[in-house]
Amino acid sequence: MKVSELFMPTMKETPSDAEIESHKLMLRSGFMRQLSSGIYVYLPLGYRVLRKIENIVREEMDRSGAQEVHMSALMPRELWEESGRWAVFGPEMFRIKDRNEREYCLGPTHEEAFTYIVRNEITSYRDLPKILYQIQTKFRDERRPRFGVMRCREFTMKDAYSFDIDEKGLDISYRKMYDAYVRIFKRCGLDVKIVEADTGAMGGASSHEFMVPSSVGEAEIAYCKACGYAANLEKAECLDEPFETAEKMEQIQEVFTPDVRTIEELVSFLGIEAKRFVKTMIYRADDRFVAVLVRGDREVNETKLKNLLKVTELELAGAEDVERITGAKVGFAGPVGLSIDVYADNEVKYLKNFVVGANKTNYHLKNVNLNDFEVKQFADLRNITPDDLCPKCRSQKVTIERGIEVGHIFKLGTKYTEAFNCVYTDEKGEKKLMIMGCYGIGINRTAAAIIEQMHDEDGIIWPITVAPYEVIVVPVNVKDQQQSSVAFEIYKALQQEGVEVLIDDRDERAGVKFKDADLIGIPFKVTVGKKVTEGKIEVRNRRTKEVVEIDMENAVEAIVNLIKKEKAQYEV
Ligand code: ATP
Ligand code: MG
């Protein structure tokens, strides 16, 4: 492709509304443009990258024995009524009506559609197991679309679903997907951490997320440098480690704390450390209210709370409810004298003489102890912190890092097959529920994560496996007859070798062309300049910045070899 003809609207300035590097670079390099909040269009270079990622995903899915299908994005309400998710999916689902007022959604995910098809078409154990997948557009009305295609409202997902006769079969399908994901991300040049993820209240199931460590990631990962344990923050377990204080229990005491509501405000007002406070959070859990206690310097882990209470909906109570329940303005809630159930984090068990809200506006209570109120249940209800020991090996403290979730695999069990009565007949003629797993990869988010991991001040550094083109040939001065003709010869010969190659034939200053080549991240730049009179040209590796001078005569062979060597490191 000639750059003079390529639709590649690069930008010199950094777009002001882009906050993270991948978003800035995808706009600056002319890979994509925003159409509306969380909605993007892909231009030629960007689309080539997406297709390359898709192809890697497709090859590895096929290699694992999964079969590609294509479901509709538009799905009728009735399908989602069968699983019960029409009611519980909430505002993230785009819902529309047809001309006859029938309701539909634009698929945010496809468990329903796959289970429906398999239920109708597969009846015997002889036809199982099956792993089916698609690469398709998903729609999610995210509360906060941001960071470009990292969190957008229309995106491409590879989603796969496995159907097995029993748990043992599911384990095998799950392992196949797990291994395929490891190969996919390696081929994409991504360094991923595989972490345990929460599976909700369904005991026994397992789930893993594939995370790209990055400071702009929206997820947090706790891991152990000693034993390799890794879990996302929602899942990571906090050990119940008893600790003793020699302190004597003091007399409870009411203190006047005018307008002092938050832990930070209390710390400076009372001059007491945050860990001597106990926070009381009031939640609405399905149709009741509960209070949750954690130490002042800790955060409630809502996933753990949800699992403990076995509820589907959990949210912080609104101001009105808090006032009605506590009899005080928000910021003064406490467990003493509270009439709703109180759940407390394990750590609270070992505290003495702590400070809580007094359930009276502008007052707190000091020297509160466990015998001053009733706790319905103690449990692990807080987020893990860098103070905590690894819950697995206990040999050292955990490290907490941010990460971008690019993939997610999940043992669903019978959640959907039960709802859809998706059964098979076994060898004895008995009907049994199929056992399911689901497996997703965000294609666009993967592209953005690659850029987050692979860029420098000059632009993107695409791994050669996903780069829009492998080589860019740059004649320094197109008006120079020899430079131009040698450049075109090499370009054509590379094309004939099956190399994906660009030639920057624009009548621009060399500096401009070099900058663009670096910005769009092409792995090899072949410069045809003055030395062409001596039969020499230059090849630069974008990633290693290594420059080699090669002879014009065997240029093509040399470049093809460099490409081979570069590709080798992404092989699986
Ligand atoms: P998140 O917690 O980031 O919202 P999720 O748990 O909702 O992700 P899944 O439903 O497991 O994600 O979807 C599978 C994959 O799809 C994710 O791992 C991610 O790569 C991608 N994905 C999910 N939501 C978005 C989005 N809004 N924009 C781009 N990619 C997304
Ligand atoms: Mg989500």
Longest dimension (CA), the chain: 94
In a domain, 384, yes or no: no
pLDDT at 203: 56
- Residues paired with residue 367 on neighbouring β-strands, in sequence order: none
Which residue's CA is the closest to the ligand 1 atom numbered 29?
151
CA atoms within 13 A on the CB side of 164: 20
pLDDT at 247: 87
Structure tokens at 238: 């906090």
Structure tokens at 404: 């971008």
Atom number, ligand 1, closest to the C-alpha of residue 157: 16
Contacts of 543 (CB under 8 A, 6+ apart): 454, 461, 463, 523, 566
Residues 505 and 420 in one domain: no
First-last CA distance in the chain: 30
Atom number, ligand 1, closest to the C-alpha of residue 405: 18
Closest CA to 192 of 207, 211, 164, 172: 211
Residues 280 and 227 in one domain: no
Residues 206 and 134 in one domain: yes
Closest CA to 110 of 60, 160, 66: 160
In a domain, 394, yes or no: no
Cα 524 off chain centre by: 30
Domain end (from 377, 411, 442): 377
Q: Which of 26, 154, 157, 158 is the pocket-test mutation for ligand 1 (most atoms within 8 Å of CB)? A: 157
Report which DSSP code applies to 148. G
Structure tokens at 55: 């192809």
Closest CA to 105 of 125, 129, 85: 85
- Say how far apart CA 538 and CA 518 lie, in whole Å: 15
- Say how far apart CA 284 and CA 318 lie, in whole Å: 9
Which residue's CA is the closest to the ligand 1 atom numbered 11?
408
Contacts of 81 (CB under 8 A, 6+ apart): none
Which residue's CA is the closest to the ligand 1 atom numbered 22?
442
Coil, strand or helix: which one is 407? strand
Which residue's CA is the closest to the ligand 1 atom numbered 3?
405
pLDDT at 200: 76
What are the φ/ψ torsions at residue 361 (nearest 5 degrees)? -55, 135
What are the φ/ψ torsions at residue 33 (nearest 5 degrees)? -140, 155
Residues 125 and 229 in one domain: yes
Atom number, ligand 1, closest to the C-alpha of residue 218: 3
Closest CA to 468 of 450, 486, 492: 450
Atom number, ligand 1, closest to the C-alpha of residue 406: 20
In a domain, 386, yes or no: no
| Distance in Å, CA 449 to ligand 2 centroid | 16
- Ligand number, closest to the Cα atom of 138: 1
In a domain, 463, yes or no: no
Residues 287 and 180 in one domain: no
Atom number, ligand 1, closest to the C-alpha of residue 410: 11
Burial class (CB in 10 A: 0-12, 13-18, 19+), 545: exposed
State the average pLDDT for the chain: 96
Overall number of domains in the chain: 3
What are the φ/ψ torsions at residue 311 (nearest 5 degrees)? -115, 160
Ligand 1: residues within 6 Å at CB?
109, 140, 142, 151-152, 155, 157, 405-408, 440, 442, 444-445
In a domain, 552, yes or no: yes
Asked whether 14 and 8 are in contact (CB, 8 A), the reply is no
CA dihedral sign of residues 519, 520, 524, 530: negative
Q: Residue 87: what residue type? A: A
- Residue whose tokens read 């009031």: 282
| Distance in Å, CA 99 to ligand 1 centroid | 31
| Distance in Å, CA 493 to ligand 1 centroid | 42
| Distance in Å, CA 152 to ligand 2 centroid | 10
- Ligand number, closest to the Cα atom of 144: 1
Cis preceding-peptide flag for 129 (omega within 30 of 0): yes
Which residue's CA is the closest to the ligand 1 atom numbered 28?
151
Domain end (from 377, 412, 437): 377
Residues 209 and 103 in one domain: yes
Which residue's CA is the closest to the ligand 1 atom numbered 4?
151
Residues 189 and 42 in one domain: yes
Q: Which of 445, 450, 452 is the pocket-test mutation for ligand 1 (most atoms within 8 Å of CB)? A: 445
Q: Residue 463: what residue type? A: P
- Say how far apart CA 105 and CA 111 lie, in whole Å: 14
In a domain, 198, yes or no: yes
pLDDT at 444: 98
Residues 302 and 447 in one domain: no
pTM, two decimals, is 0.93
pLDDT at 204: 60
What parts of the chain have a pLDDT lower than 70?
A: 201-204
- Say how far apart CA 372 and CA 85 lie, in whole Å: 43
Residues 212 and 163 in one domain: yes
Report which DSSP code applies to 300. B
CATH number for the domain that contains residue 529: 3.40.50.800
Domain end (from 411, 427, 452): 452
Structure tokens at 469: 């083109």
Closest CA to 208 of 239, 172, 235, 189: 235
Cα separation values, 316 from 148, 358, 373, Å = 29, 19, 22
Full domain range(s) for residue 497: 469-570
Atom number, ligand 1, closest to the C-alpha of residue 407: 18
Residues 279 and 189 in one domain: no
Closest CA to 317 of 274, 285, 362, 349: 285
Q: What is the pLDDT of residues 203-238, one digit of tens each?
A: 567 999 999 999 999 999 999 999 999 999 999 999
Residues 18 and 109 in one domain: yes
CATH number for the domain that contains residue 180: 3.30.930.10
Tell me which H or E stretch contains 492: helix 481-496
| Distance in Å, CA 442 to ligand 1 centroid | 6
In a domain, 182, yes or no: yes
In a domain, 181, yes or no: yes
- Say how far apart CA 134 and CA 148 lie, in whole Å: 23
Cα 404 off chain centre by: 4
Residues 232 and 263 in one domain: no
